[in-house]
Amino acid sequence: MNIRKALATLAAGASVAIVGYKAIQNWKAATLFSEHSRIERFQHMNEVMPSNLVKTSETPSQAFENATTQVNKSYLYKGKEQTLDHFLNKTTTTGFIVIKDNQILLEEYLHGSDEHTRFTSWSVAKSMVSALIGIAVDEGKIQSIQDPVDQYVPELANSAYRNVPIEHVLLMASGVRFNEDYSHPLSDIRKLFYSTLVFNQSIDNYVQSLSSNRLSGTMYRYASVDTQVLGMVLREATGVQPSEYFSQKIWKKIDAERDGYWNTDRKGNDLSFCGFSATLRDYAVSGSCICNKESGMKNKLFLPIGFLLLHKSVTLLFANNRRSDTNINGGFLIKRTKIILRWVYGGNLYTFTQKNRR
């Protein structure tokens, strides 16, 4: 009898622990975008959501050397001299790094971060997924970006993505009805997070429930769920999650210094539209590999394969993109001499392509 009571007590205690753990998980997910918790959450996204490890090579090398000379940390803005420290504090920057010629000119960490911190990069994952689509086409795993997405993911045949070409999804012109307003508690992007992280639903089910409000290919409309669909296509075409494919085809080949991770729903499916986290130095490695032809990096091929599939101008779809010095291809914003990767809440990765850049 005593043994039964002890087992019952242990079972009850375990149940309470599980409920408590789930409550903490759900609280972190539900308050992810809270002004008071964003900084801490965005530096530890593997504690907020489940994640898949993105492994680097078994013998990664140090990508950069420290600069031998000090950099002037002041600059002129609107005729007044400003300091970098003032700028970083004013903008609540958590990490800042500047690389030139494989040397670290500046490296600053604030608000509890350090060189080991994996910073989330939100929508930069969209650019990564577009590159993976290009690689999958190059390898013959995807036949053509003209193929409809439901050819690879039949479950989407009765959704907004029925007969929608992969190309239209890459250009965020799928025609899906999707509200991206992060500030609205009932927007589609918020509902997506609630359903997958709080109510433990598969993100696949949420995608399948969406409807369209226009023909695909007729209008650009930013929709994170489009990239989630691309991730589903990759998963079915390659047989692995996009995070694993990214590890194999990009992260190991660019010789990232450290492993990264990619957030998932509670069923193990990658959140392909967001959720990749890495150190500042490894983001800098990625930037160097994008367009620095003189770089000593081992692999520089992933960007051309990824976005040159969309080599044609997409100005007709991007109504506000009419400047001749700007183009958007496969998730990369290209402005003459620089490529910019941006994510929500102020993250930026600038890569300057001019050989004699200052």
Mean pLDDT of the chain: 80
- Number of structural domains (the chain) is 3
Considering the domain architecture, whether residues 207 and 273 belong to the same structural domain is answered as yes
Which domain range does residue 7 map to?
A: 2-42
- Cβ atoms of 153 and 327 within 8 Å: the answer is no
176: Cα separation from own chain's centroid: 20
State what percent of residues in the chain have pLDDT above 70.
72
Q: Which two tokens stand for residue 296?
A: 């000593």
Tell me the average pLDDT across 212-217: 94
Tell me the average pLDDT across 297-301: 43
Query: What's the sign of the alpha-carbon dihedral 184, 190, 194, 197?
Result: negative
State what percent of residues in the chain have pLDDT above 90.
45
What CATH number does residue 279 fall under? Answer: 3.40.710.10
| Burial class of residue 182 in the structure, from the number of CB atoms within 10 Å of its CB (0-12 exposed, 13-18 middle, 19+ buried) | middle
Considering the domain architecture, whether residues 146 and 290 belong to the same structural domain is answered as yes
Residue 329 bridge partners (DSSP):
332
Using 50, 70 and 90 to split pLDDT, how confident is the model at 123?
Answer: confident
Query: What is d(CA 122, CA 118) in angstroms, rounded to the nearest whole number?
Result: 12
Q: What is the pLDDT of residues 313-342, one digit of tens each?
A: 333 333 333 333 433 444 444 455 556 666
Residue at 80 is within a domain: yes
Tell me the average pLDDT across 6-14: 49
Considering the domain architecture, whether residues 90 and 171 belong to the same structural domain is answered as no
pLDDT for residue 74 is more than 60: yes
pLDDT at 111: 92
pLDDT at 255: 87
Query: What is d(CA 243, CA 255) in angstroms, rounded to the nearest whole number?
Result: 16
Considering the domain architecture, whether residues 79 and 124 belong to the same structural domain is answered as no
Considering the domain architecture, whether residues 264 and 282 belong to the same structural domain is answered as yes
Residue at 239 is within a domain: yes
Specify the higher pLDDT residue, 338 or 10. Answer: 338
The DSSP letter of residue 196 is I
Tell me how far CA of residue 221 lies from CA of 171, 180, 186, 214, 233, in angstroms.
Answer: 9, 10, 19, 10, 20
Tell me the average pLDDT across 235-252: 96
Using 50, 70 and 90 to split pLDDT, how confident is the model at 288?
Answer: confident
Considering the domain architecture, whether residues 157 and 80 belong to the same structural domain is answered as no
Considering the domain architecture, whether residues 87 and 174 belong to the same structural domain is answered as no
Query: What is d(CA 262, CA 52) in angstroms, rounded to the nearest whole number?
Result: 5
- Cβ atoms of 252 and 54 within 8 Å: the answer is no
pLDDT for residue 356 is more than 70: no
Task: Give SS3 for 104.
Answer: strand
Residue at 230 is within a domain: yes
pLDDT for residue 4 is more than 70: no
Residue at 15 is within a domain: yes
Considering the domain architecture, whether residues 97 and 187 belong to the same structural domain is answered as no
Residue at 63 is within a domain: no
pLDDT at 253: 87
Residue at 64 is within a domain: no
Using 50, 70 and 90 to split pLDDT, how confident is the model at 24?
Answer: low
Considering the domain architecture, whether residues 161 and 236 belong to the same structural domain is answered as yes
The DSSP letter of residue 70 is P
pLDDT at 210: 96
pLDDT for residue 202 is more than 70: yes
Tell me the average pLDDT across 170-184: 91
Tell me how far CA of residue 80 lies from CA of 77, 83, 84, 142, 349, in angstroms.
Answer: 5, 10, 13, 54, 26
pLDDT at 338: 59
pLDDT for residue 282 is more than 80: yes
Please tell me the least confidently modeled range out of 30-39, 264-273, 342-351: 342-351
Q: Which two tokens stand for residue 297?
A: 């990096």
Spatial CB neighbours of 183, under 8 Å, sequence gap ≥ 6: none
Residue at 67 is within a domain: no
Using 50, 70 and 90 to split pLDDT, how confident is the model at 30?
Answer: low
Considering the domain architecture, whether residues 105 and 244 belong to the same structural domain is answered as no
Residue at 358 is within a domain: no
pLDDT at 6: 55
To which residue do tokens 């010629």 refer?
A: 101
pLDDT at 300: 43
- Asked whether the whole model's pTM tops 0.75, one would answer yes
> On the CB side of 41, how many CA atoms lie within 13 Å of its CA?
21
Considering the domain architecture, whether residues 158 and 186 belong to the same structural domain is answered as yes
Using 50, 70 and 90 to split pLDDT, how confident is the model at 297?
Answer: very low
Considering the domain architecture, whether residues 87 and 149 belong to the same structural domain is answered as no
Specify the higher pLDDT residue, 65 or 26. Answer: 65
